Structure 1
Amino acid sequence: MSEEAKNEWWEWIKAIIIAIVLAFLLRTFFFATSIVEGASMNPTLESGERVMFNKIIYYLEEPTYGEIVIIHRPVKSYVKRIIALPNDVVEVRDHKLYINGEKQNQDYLNKSSIEETTNYGPVKVPDGHYFVMGDNRSISKDSRNGLGFIKESEIIGRSELVIYPLKEWGMTR
């Protein structure tokens, strides 16, 4: 094998090793994927969709209203929407969501999800915790019924986009 061919092989091997290391670093520290299980986030996300989430964003900024987050619990992970921040007061009255006494516009919900949202609260979110709900309010296991308040440390990333199935490719907000 000529010296030129050896150099070309060596360059290819280096490029492949660098690509593998970069993919590992991105997957480990910056981005990961999660599969949506169940219908609790319909119509925004459907069961079986794979979402890519940003793992580093909450080292740079705090979670905020309306973001779809990945919550890690010992048994399983959940995909939910942040409804209220630490020290907020949450109430659902007459199918309308109120945060700190102000009615919230929930344009990401369909009409049936709004109509099926039952009365709840008022409750104050403890310091260092968040209140989350699924977009399909009538069937969602969330802060109202089962998940409780979410510790900041349990939020492992923000959903950025649907990557599968390909026909659903796009941002998740």
Structure 2
Amino acid sequence: MSEAKKKNEWFEWTKAIIIAVLIAVFLRTFIFATSIVEGESMDPTLKHGERVIFNKIIYILDQPDRGDVVIIQRPTKNYVKRVIGLPGETIQLNGNDLIINGEEYIQTFLTEDAMYKTGKFGPIQIPDDSYFVMGDNRLISKDSRNGLGFIHEDEIIGRSELIIYPFSEWSLTK
């Protein structure tokens, strides 16, 4: 193999590696990222120590929907919670009943046990630029009811899409 051909092959490999790294950095920065679940507040949907991939671009293109599992960025810590109330809605929790704008909403994403541990809250109106979030483990979750307050739309940085670790738990988050 000639010296020129070796240099050309080396150049092509270097170029391919640089392009792959740039694509990975772009995807990590603007499209997808990973997060580690800390605590039990989203159990059984997400368990302590699981790693999830979250979609960072989804809310640039669209708004969060009720039931989405979202990543919330706060100055000292990120939180993983479920969107329960949308901007402008009135929320009331009465034990296992979630009442939105005066109508009962069936929480298909919760276990019956979790519904009974929700407690009473509200009624309260959500500001037009904010969301009401709760953890699925209602008994112990720090959320919009008891510490996080309303979540401004700018604080929601992505939607959880996929559990990637531990490998035995690979699944979509819902």
TM category (shorter chain) comes to over 0.9
Does residue 157 of structure 2 align to residue 156 of structure 1? Answer: yes
SS in structure 1 at match of 2:132: strand
Partner of 2:95: 94
What is the TM-score of this pair, normalised by structure 1? 0.97
Q: Indicate conservation of the 8 Å contact 2:95/2:115, yes or no.
A: no
How far off is 1:150 after superposition? 0.3
Letter matched to residue 26 of structure 1: L
Q: Is the 8 A contact 2:85 2:132 kept in 1?
A: yes
Secondary structure (helix, strand or coil) at the match of 1:138 reads coil
Deviation per CA, 1:84-126, whole angstroms, max 9, x where unpaired? 1011011111321111112111122112111111011110001
1:141 — aligned with what? 142
Give runs of ≥4 in structure 1 deviating > 6 Å: none
Query: Mapping of 1:19-168 within 5 angstroms?
Result: 19-168=20-169
> Within 1, Cα distance between the matches of 2:95 and 2:7?
74
Distance (whole Å) between structure 2 residues aligned to residue 11 and residue 41 of structure 1: 47
Between the aligned partners of 2:170 and 2:161, the Cα distance in structure 1 is 11
Q: Is the CA contact (8 Å cut-off) linking 2:133 and 2:150 kept in structure 1?
A: yes
Is the CA contact 2:93–2:122 (under 8 Å) kept in the aligned structure 1?
yes
In structure 1, the gaps of 5 or more residues are: none
Q: Return 5+ residue gaps in structure 2 as ranges.
A: none
RMSD between aligned residues: 1.0
Task: Please give the alpha-carbon distance, in whole angstroms, between the structure 1 residues aligned to 2:123 and 2:108.
Answer: 22
Shift of 1:158: 0.8
Deviates more, 1:95-104 or 1:15-24: 95-104
